Amino acid sequence: MKDNFAQINLPKLELQPEYTFLDLPQFQHPELLNCVDKLLDSHIKESRGNSVCIRTFEETWTYQDLYEKANQIAHVLVEDLGLQSGNRVLLRSANNPMMVACWFAVLKAGGNVVATMPLLRAKEITTIIDCAEISHAFCDSDLAEEMNLVTSDFLKHICFYRNSDLEKLIENKPKTFVNYTSKSNDVALIGFTSGTTGLPKMTAHYHKDILNICEAFPYYSLQPTENDIFIGSPPIGFTFGLGGLVLFPMYFGASTFLIEKPSPDVLLQAIQEYKITICFTAPTAWRMITTKIQEYDISSIRKCVSAGETLPLKVWQDWYDATGLKIIDGIGATEMLHIFISSNEENMKPGATGKAITGYEAKIIDQQGNELPRNEAGRLAVRGITGCKYLNREEKQREYVENGWNITGDIFRQDEEGYFHFVARGDDMIISSGYNIAAIEVESVLLTHEAILECAVVGLPDEERGMLVCAHIVLKKSNNDGDELKIQIQNWFKNTAAPYKYPRIINFVETLPKTETGKIQRFKLKS
């Protein structure tokens, strides 16, 4: 019996973007395809099982180790937890080997992976579970507190690992498993966009999408080999982190180094100790790492990738001056799965994000959809081998896809040489330290506070973090001790929602600027 939730809720074909470049040989796939066969199982079949796959500071897993563990967990899913093909399985964990094993196990068993950020709170997790009608969850026992607070009629099984239930269940399970026979255009992965209050958007990605992105950005920008060791700070719950730390290394038979709580010092320590060659992180981290590199030997690094927010030219230049290495900038989207505009050693232009990589094309358009002349700022439109497929959100699908093109919400310009330059976000998305934070979701949380009557949230420029979340708040009653209340609201927010979303700046105001129709004029709050 198959659970068809994902397939049923896909947008109609006429609402999906036009897919281009799929006729290129590297993007063609058989009708029957489970992406795990290529990413993991092929290494065993081709006698590379003894090669290192995952490292941490505490342990080393070979491809054989990961393969066996994923197979055992797949048996648990089917035999002990009653997983039906197509069921959604939530993963809640920091970056560690068991999370990766669970990720592969879900696809082996025919499920859909829904990986989440470890910082999410119970309310946010519940929203995700209810939206995607998630029946099963794997959770690191270190994160059990919030998971145990989740209440949803859809969730039938929670299985904890790290000296917990899952380890006991897999003890006697076979180390082989016959992978579920999925189709290339079956949904494998559901990624949630940043909004996790109200009705967040669910992006669906096929098995073939997962393999296609491995043929796109890595070949274009990295040229990985099996000798490469990847490292990075983004959570695997982000598609940026999933690609850079799981999919890309394993597609090429390389290895990955996982850190549960990455910081610049910890990243640098790992690079020095384990001779890391490829590093993925956000501009904020690159800025901080640059100030510390004299204390470490980072000579093993050959490729540096920045994404998550725009890369300031100064950060690029400071790193280059200190190391002689060029940071590869890139822009991607959860809707598109990974990076679609970037550069490589041969075509890099400091200050520019880059050009559309192999498998994608991009242009700058006005509000009517007309292509704009070079150097004129407008909306970024992209199409290619992947594209937006929102589940059960027809209105949002129509907003994101126009005339077959994906409209990312970013304002860019394209210069005479064809390079794309970031100008601004076209919506109220706040990108702070690599995290995407929707202003409206912060407002939704704040409005549940008993003292708050109205609020408006904007992003303010910040040299260190890129942007800061700033909340303008109208109180129900005047308060003479404003500073104390600000701290109280901030602490309350951190306990209510993911801490990285909290407003670092709070301004108490008597009124908010509005139009005649009552719409808040957020642009007036940014000046």
Q: Note whether residue 368 is domain-resident.
A: no
Contact 449, 486 (CB under 8 A): no
Q: Residue 5: which residues within 8 A CB-CB, separation 6 or more? A: 86, 88, 132, 133
H helix runs in 458-508, sequence order: 482-496
Quote the pLDDT of residue 200: 83
The model scores a pTM over 0.95? no
Number of domains in the chain: 2
What tokens appear for 359 in the block? 């498998």
What 8-state DSSP symbol labels residue 514?
A: B
Cα dihedral value 415, 417, 418, 423, nearest 10: -20
Measured distance CA(277)–CA(292) in Å, rounded: 18
Measured distance CA(192)–CA(49) in Å, rounded: 33
Span 313-370, pLDDT tens digits: 888 999 999 999 999 999 999 999 999 999 998 899 998 999 999 999 999 999 899 9
Quote the pLDDT of residue 288: 85
**Helix (H) / strand (E) containing 97:** helix 97-108
Q: Note whether residue 307 is domain-resident.
A: no
Contact 104, 39 (CB under 8 A): yes
Q: Note whether residue 190 is domain-resident.
A: yes
Q: Note whether residue 362 is domain-resident.
A: no
Quote the pLDDT of residue 438: 75
Quote the pLDDT of residue 377: 87
Q: Tell me, what CATH number does 518's domain have? A: 3.30.300.30
Place of tokens 């939530």: 90
Q: Tell me, what CATH number does 163's domain have? A: 3.40.50.12780
Cα dihedral value 174, 180, 184, 190, nearest 10: -80
From first CA to last CA, the distance across the chain in angstroms is 57
Quote the pLDDT of residue 197: 44
Choosing from 183, 206, 229, the residue where a domain stops is 206
Positions of the chain with pLDDT under 70: 194-198, 425-428, 515-519
Span 202-217, pLDDT tens digits: 999 999 999 999 999 9
Q: Note whether residue 460 is domain-resident.
A: yes
Choosing from 172, 187, 206, the residue where a domain stops is 206
Q: Note whether residue 354 is domain-resident.
A: no
Quote the pLDDT of residue 274: 98
Beta strand 136-140 with 88-92 is parallel
Quote the pLDDT of residue 519: 60
**Helix (H) / strand (E) containing 158:** strand 157-161
Q: Give the three-class secondary structure for 248.
A: helix
Q: Note whether residue 303 is domain-resident.
A: no
The parent domain of residue 515 ranges over 429-525
The half-sphere exposure of 19 on its side-chain side, counting CA atoms within 13 A, is: 19
Q: Note whether residue 246 is domain-resident.
A: no
Measured distance CA(460)–CA(445) in Å, rounded: 19
Q: What residue type is 511 in one-letter code?
A: T
Choosing from 206, 239, 274, the residue where a domain stops is 206
